Amino acid sequence: MKREIIITSDGSTTIHLPEWNEQYHSKHGAIQEAYHVFIRNGLKYVDAKNVSILEIGFGTGLNSFITLLEAKKEIDYVGVEAYPVAKEEVAKLNYVAELDADDKREFFEKIHEVSWEEKHNITPNFSLTKRKQFFAEITDENYFDLIYFDAFGARVQPDLWTEDIFRIMFAALKSEGVLVTYSAKGNVRRAMQAVGFDVERLPGPPGKREMLRATKVGE
């Protein structure tokens, strides 16, 4: 499948898949979307001394890198990706420059260079484990405080937004754990609720009216 690096509305890059008319991040602003959905309504919302995070769709590493930059506590980060981004594509991403983080460039590079299936300390308070697996293969239970659900949209990959997948997410979270996603589709919200999540609609990032935040309650 053809892949192109494009510039989104806030000046940051993303990977575009013309055949699907889909991209890894919002065309209205990759960095803006990441901060709004995953940092402001995820990382900064979770009240935990140390935060364990599962990212569904590691992709370009943008969410991981921004979390590293924003970390005020210890982060144990696990990124799951079935089809890792190529080194040649990573080299064309402009996140370090757009985030004015040249002094942290080594960390962005390290995020992509470290081996898969092993835990690595990227900084003293940020550890990263990259796992190459399909989302349906996740078997963690009661481990994560927060899930960044950043899979491709339900329009092109509806099988990633089903009750079966959200049941796996529910099991992976600790009690009172939180899942955040850019999606606000009614069928996605209903699938989350069907497996036990308490779901709230929140204002969305630029270009989207709403997003969803789901909490594992009652356990």
Residue range 103-147, pLDDT digits in tens? 999 999 999 999 999 999 999 999 999 999 999 999 999 999 999
pLDDT of amino acid 35: 97
Rounded to an integer, what distance in angstroms lies between the CA atom of residue 133 and that of residue 84? 10
CATH architecture for segment(s) 29-216: 3-Layer(aba) Sandwich (3.40)
pTM of the model as a whole: 0.97
Rounded to an integer, what distance in angstroms lies between the CA atom of residue 169 and that of residue 147? 8
pLDDT of amino acid 219: 58
> Residue 201: which H helix or E strand, with range?
strand 197-203
Give 42's DSSP letter: I
Greatest CA span in the chain, whole angstroms? Answer: 46
Residue 52 CB neighbours (<10 A): 22
Q: Given pLDDT bands bounded at 50, 70 and 90, which one contains residue 32?
A: very high
Give 10's DSSP letter: T
55-98 pLDDT, tens digit per residue, is: 999 999 999 999 999 998 899 999 999 999 999 999 999 999 99
Main-chain phi, psi angles of 128, to 5 degrees: -135, 130
Rounded to an integer, what distance in angstroms lies between the CA atom of residue 163 and that of residue 38? 22
pLDDT at 48 over 90: no
Q: Return mean pLDDT, the chain.
A: 96
163-209 pLDDT, tens digit per residue, is: 999 999 999 999 999 999 999 999 999 999 999 999 999 999 999 99
